[in-house]
Amino acid sequence: MQEMQEFRYTGFAQEILFGAGKLAQLGEALERFHWQRVMLCSTQSQRRNGHIAAIERLLEGRLVANFEHVQPHVQDFQVAEGLALAREYEVDAIIGLGGGSPIGMAKVVSFALEGQEREQQANSPIEQPLVPVIAIPTTYAGSELTPVYGVTNHVDGQARKVTVSDVRIAPRLIIYDPLLTLDLPPELTASTGINALAHCIEALYSITRNPPSTAVALSGIRAITSSLLRCYEAGDDLEARAEMLNGAFLAGMALAHVSMALHHGLCHVLGGSAGVPHGVANGIILPHAMRFNLDATASQLAPAAEAMGIATAGRDAESAVEEAIQAIYALIGRMRLPQRLRDVGVQESDLPHLARLALSNRSVQNNPKSVTDAVQVEAIFRAAW
Q: Which residues of this chain interact with ligand NAD, rule CB under 6 A?
A: 43, 45, 49, 72-73, 98-101, 104, 138-139, 141-143, 146, 148-150, 180-181, 183-185, 188, 192, 195, 271, 278-279
Of the candidates 287, 270, 247, the one whose C-alpha atom is nearest the C-alpha of residue 342 is 270
**Shortest approach of ligand NAD to residue 144 CB, angstroms?**
8
Bridge partner residues of 63 (DSSP): 38
Centroid of chain to Cα 183: 19
**Shortest approach of ligand NAD to residue 270 CB, angstroms?**
10
Asked if 145 contacts 107 with a C-beta cutoff of 8 angstroms, the reply is no
Q: 63 vs 148, which CB is nearer to ligand NAD?
A: 148
**Shortest approach of ligand NAD to residue 181 CB, angstroms?**
6
Q: 232 vs 321, which CB is nearer to ligand NAD?
A: 232
CA distance 105 to 101: 6
> What own/partner pairs with CB < 8 Å and gap ≥ 24 does 209-213 have?
209/7, 209/258, 209/300, 210/7, 210/8, 210/9, 210/257, 210/258, 211/5, 211/7, 212/9, 212/253, 212/257, 213/9, 213/253, 213/254, 213/257, 213/258
Q: 192 vs 312, which CB is nearer to ligand NAD?
A: 192
Q: 305 vs 335, which CB is nearer to ligand NAD?
A: 335
**Shortest approach of ligand NAD to residue 14 CB, angstroms?**
13
Concatenated DSSP letters of 266-307: HHHHHHHHH---HHHHHHHHHHHHHHHHHHHHHHHHHHHHHH
Query: Of all residues in this chain, which one has the CB nearest to ligand NAD in the complex?
Result: 100
Of the candidates 307, 148, 137, the one whose C-alpha atom is nearest the C-alpha of residue 216 is 307
- Going by the DSSP 8-state scheme, the letter that residue 29 receives in this structure is H
Q: 265 vs 303, which CB is nearer to ligand NAD?
A: 265
Q: 138 vs 312, which CB is nearer to ligand NAD?
A: 138
**Shortest approach of ligand NAD to residue 282 CB, angstroms?**
8
Q: 63 vs 253, which CB is nearer to ligand NAD?
A: 253
Bridge partner residues of 176 (DSSP): 18
**Shortest approach of ligand NAD to residue 102 CB, angstroms?**
6
CA distance 177 to 310: 31
CA distance 120 to 315: 63
**Shortest approach of ligand NAD to residue 42 CB, angstroms?**
8
Q: 312 vs 366, which CB is nearer to ligand NAD?
A: 366
CA distance 271 to 281: 7
**Shortest approach of ligand NAD to residue 58 CB, angstroms?**
17
**Shortest approach of ligand NAD to residue 25 CB, angstroms?**
19
Burial of 202: CB neighbours in 10 Å, binned 0-12, 13-18, 19+: buried
Q: 107 vs 321, which CB is nearer to ligand NAD?
A: 107
CA distance 102 to 254: 21
Asked if 317 contacts 302 with a C-beta cutoff of 8 angstroms, the reply is yes
